[in-house]
Structure 1
Amino acid sequence: MSKKLEGNGFWESSRIIIPEHKEAYLKLMKDRQRRGKPVLDDQELQLIEQALIESYNTRTAVTVTVFSPFDDEVMTGVVTSINTASREVKLFRGEDDFSWIKLEDIISAIV
């Protein structure tokens, strides 16, 4: 007799994964890979702020690493605006390409 029909084989061979379960499982696996935000000391924060201010004043390019829970994003551009009220900087990266980046999301900046 076939092994599929013996013991629990009948139910084991008829399992089906519906798309909703697959999506939930993949989301759970992705959430398990989530990283925590690194804690920066005061000296590192000052170096980041100095690099951003220097880029703003001299219109030179700065390379900024922006934190993301899954994969950090590295951007290069010129700081064209600093909004102290909302604690954001405007990074101009090309002709019509710019991004507003929150200061608390920046984990490194190099001029």
Structure 2
Amino acid sequence: MTSKLNDNGVIEGSRMILPEHRDAYVAHMHELNRREKPVLDEQEWQLIGQALMESYQERVSVTLTVFDPFDDTVMRGVVASIDRRRKEIKFVRGEEDYSFISFENIVCASI
């Protein structure tokens, strides 16, 4: 008769994981990939502001890199409005496709 114990002393037939434990493990592994927001110097902020103003005034397309803790998003479109009080821009990517982007989430901007 063979033993039901393997090298680590666990019965082979009792290996089971609860769905809640699996979900918690997956969420934990996802959180390990979280990144910190890069710190931009004054010169980079000036270049971003210059690109945003040029896009707003001349209605030219600009490429924005928006920070996300897991993966940055690159968008191409036109700045429709700049709200300095709320510190955000209205960014139009198509006829009816627009979004509001906070200044602090913009990492890079280029014409």
Give the deviation of 1:62 after TM superposition.
0.3
Superposed structure 1 runs of 4+ greater than 6 Å apart: none
RMSD: 1.4
Q: Does 1:45 align with 2:45?
A: yes
TM-score normalized by the length of structure 2: 0.93
Q: Does 1:82 align with 2:85?
A: no
Give the deviation of 1:9 after TM superposition.
3.7
Q: Are the equivalent residues in 2 in contact too, given 1:76–1:93 (CA < 8 A)? A: yes
Give the deviation of 1:3 after TM superposition.
4.0
Give the deviation of 1:96 after TM superposition.
0.6
Listed one character per residue, the Cα deviations across residues 70-110 of structure 1 (whole Å, up to 9, x for unaligned) are 00000000000000001000111001100100000000000
Give 1:95's aligned amino acid.
E
Residue 27 of structure 2: aligned partner: 27
Q: Which runs of 5+ in 2 are unaligned?
A: none
Residue 69 of structure 1: aligned partner: 69
Structure 1 or 2: more helix by fraction: 1
Give 1:39's aligned amino acid.
V
For 2:76 and 2:6, the matched residues in 1 are separated by 63
Q: 1:16 to 1:58 in 2, by over 3 A?
A: same
Q: Which runs of 5+ in 1 are unaligned?
A: none
